[in-house]
Every structure is written in C-alpha cells, then in structure tokens.
Amino acid sequence: MDLGLKGKVAVITGGSVGIGLAVAEALAGEGVDLVLCARQEARVVEKANDIAARYGVRAVGIQADVSRADDIARLVGDIERTFGGADILINNAGTGSEEKILDAPDEKWQYYWDLHVMAAVRLSRSLAPLMRSRGGGVILNNASICATQPLGYEPIYNTTKAALVMFSKCLANELIPFNIRVNTVNPGLVLTPDWRKTAELLTKDTDMTPDAYLEKIAVDNAPIGRFATPEEVADFFVFLCSPRASYSVGSTYYVDGGWLNVTT
Ligand code: NDP
C-alpha cells in the first residue's frame, strides 16, 4: 500500500526511545523528514542522525522539554527555520505517575498538565497555521487506555490523559475545515525499554525473572496475553498519518490487545 507520505515533514515529541522512536523509524521508512525532540540532547541527536543515515531522510534531533512554554517556542522556531513548517505533529512525550490524590501537591498536577495537555495545546496552536498554509496536515495525540480505564496507582496520569483525549476531539472539530485531521491513539501495554527497567527493578532479589513479571502483567490484563511491540503501535500511527486514513477525524483508537473492558 502506498501511504502517500513521501516528502512530508513530521514533528515527534519524545522521539528518542520507545513508541516515539518506533513511529519515527516507521515514518522515515515511508520517506518522511523528521524533527525529534526530547529533554536529553545527546540521545535525541544520536537517534535522529542514525535515522537520517539509515533511511536517507532529513532528521534533526532537538533538545526541548515540552512541559515548558519557552522550550516549545524555541522548538517551533527551529522547525520553521529548518523545514519552514510541518505536515504532521505527533504529541507523544509523556510518562506515568504514582501518587494518592490526597497526598499529591499542586506542583505535581501542574507538571503533568503541562506535559500531557499544554504541550499538545501549545504545539498545535503554533504548528496548525503552518500546516494550513501547506494545504493541510495531521495531528495525532498519544494518550493511553488509562484515559478511559484508570490504573489505581496513577490518578494524575489517568486524569491528564483523559483531558488530552477531550482536547483532541475539540481540536479535531476546529481544524477539519482546514484539512487538518486530528485523532488520538490509546495504547495498552507496550514493551518499551522503560517497562523492562521497571521489571528488572521490581524482580531484583526475588524468584521471578523480569520476563516472567512482564508476562504476568500481560496475561493478567490483556486478553491477547502479551505486550505490544512499539513497532506494532507505530504502524497504526503511520496509517493514521496517511491520506489513506482521510475519513478518520476526531476519533480515539485503542491499540490494546483487547484490554479495554468498557465501550465508549
Ligand atoms: P518512554 O519513556 O519510552 O519515552 C518517552 C519519550 O518522551 C522519551 O523520548 C523521553 O526522552 C521523552 N520525554 C519525556 N518527558 C519529556 C518532556 N518533558 N519533554 C520532552 N520529551 C520528553 O515512553 P513510551 O514510549 O512508553 O510512551 C510514549 C507515550 O505513550 C507516553 O505519552 C505514554 O504515556 C504513552 N503510553 C505508553 C504506554 C506503554 O505501555 N509504554 C501505554 C499507553 C500510553 P527524554 O527522557 O530525553 O526527555
């Protein structure tokens, strides 16, 4: 299937590892030029250079903390100078939390609000006009199954991801007249290096191996009985970026191996 993406420019937040990196590789495989951003400069620059060399696309890695308005303004300036704008924005940077609502301070709520919601608001507000002047575009927000089906230990994560889903729906309605399609992807369990690290940490000095720990989580939760690979989720993102997904607007797609219990 020709996905019709060759020569497009995509911005991926959190593009240096995990799902964001897998989306970057999959888009590069379709001939898409890339801007990857993350907080750790060395890693994001190395990954961008590696992708550029292996796929023959233009790829730049830019240090930016997307929870900060000033970093986003600088990032957008760099995008404009390098590529003159963008056709695709993937709001992917994010991370889990762990707290009790009664204990968590305002600052923690604010950080996750800025990371999961305001980053998408600010980047969309800056890049959508540039997409419009290029004839249209695609914005994908990476939320989580937790936006609908909360995990008990991370109420701030659940709440801010749910807000991201609603933001995405509102933005979709506002931007579709300009041929900009906005959608959300809600992944379930995706085996990123971070999950492996957690498994190693939690099974240290126990009888369980990290692999057995991960398998138990998957079997206990997802009917498919395993984690997704980042690549499996990335392929779904790439399809949604493509004009082949032209009627997909304002939707939330679960990629969760059957984990979602309720229908919405
Ligand atoms: P990883 O922890 O593997 O990667 C996160 C990426 O985001 C890294 O590139 C990291 O780089 C970057 N990042 C983190 N914080 C910031 C920040 N403040 N500013 C800029 N970049 C940042 O995450 P995953 O691939 O697991 O997750 C990606 C997205 O998918 C997240 O939004 C997550 O909530 C969501 N998701 C993940 C699931 C999973 O099972 N893995 C399931 C459901 C949703 P650096 O540290 O250098 O900043």
Q: If we measure between CA atoms, which residue out of 41, 89, 43, 35 comes closest to residue 65?
A: 41
Quote the CA–CA distance of 117 and 161 in Å, as a whole number. 8
Q: Tell me: the pLDDT tens digits for 121-140?
A: 999 999 999 999 999 999 99
Catalytic residue among 55, 112, 153, 157: 157
Distance 96 CA to ligand 1 centre (A): 9
Q: At residue 41, what are phi and psi to the nearest 5 degrees?
A: -65, -45
- Strand 180-187, strand 59-63: pairing: unpaired
Q: Tell me: the pLDDT tens digits for 151-197?
A: 999 999 999 999 999 999 999 999 999 999 999 999 999 999 999 99
Structure tokens that stand for 108 in this block: 């923690």
Q: Is 253 annotated in the active site?
A: no
pLDDT band at 264 (very low <50, low <70, confident <90, very high): low
Instruction: Find out whether 43 and 120 touch, Cβ atoms under 8 Å.
Output: no
pLDDT of residue 202: 92
Mean pLDDT of the chain: 97
Domains of the chain (ranges, CATH numbers): 9-191+229-255 (3.40.50.720)
Question: Which residues have any ligand 1 atom within 6 Å of their CB?
Answer: 13-14, 16-20, 37-40, 43, 64-67, 92-95, 115, 142, 144, 187, 189-190, 192, 194
Distance 144 CA to ligand 1 centre (A): 11
| Residue in 13, 75, 92, 159 to alter for ligand 1 test, most ligand atoms within 8 A of Cβ | 92
Q: List b or e across 85-116, with b for residues whose CB sees 16 or more CB atoms inside 10 angstroms.
A: bbbbbbbbbbebbebeeeeeeeeebebbbbbb
Tell me: pLDDT of 103 over 60: yes
Q: What is the mean pLDDT of residues 78-103?
A: 98
Percent of the chain at pLDDT exceeding 70:
99
pLDDT of residue 262: 67
pTM: 0.98
pLDDT of residue 263: 59
Rg (CA), the chain: 18
Ligand 1 atom index nearest CA of 96: 34
pLDDT of residue 1: 82
Quote the CA–CA distance of 249 and 191 in Å, as a whole number. 28
